[in-house]
Amino acid sequence: KEAKRWAKSKGIRFLAFEEGYLRPQFITVEEGGVNAYSSLPRDPDFYRKLPDMPAPHVENLKPSTMKRIGHAMWYYLMGWHYR
């Protein structure tokens, strides 16, 4: 919320990223926020009325949980060390 408030005070457009928000292997970008702050319609009928579209070809990626944990640990360790 703070980043969004700061961006708005500076006249900067705020974009939020969410991994796998609607589908795995995809990243969602929304202006203004995601999850509870998303501008996506909450009415299921909105989505039921959309035309069917073919699913895009998606390359399945190898699980990266351990790699991401390592990156997160390094990030927070460096943040703590250089504070």
- The reply to whether the predicted model has a pTM over 0.85 is no
Domain total of the chain: 1
Alpha-carbon gap, residue 25 to 60, rounded angstroms: 7
- 49-64 CB burial, b ≥16 within 10 A, e <16: eeeeeeeeeeeeeeee
pLDDT band at 42 (very low <50, low <70, confident <90, very high): very high
Q: How many residues does the chain have?
A: 83
Q: Where in the sequence is the domain holding 45, given as residue range(s)?
A: 2-81
pLDDT at 43 over 70: yes
CB 18, CB 27: distance < 8 Å: yes
Query: What is the model's pLDDT at position 10?
Result: 97
Interior angle at CA 43, CA 40 and CA 47, nearest 5: 75
What mean pLDDT value characterizes the chain?
Answer: 89
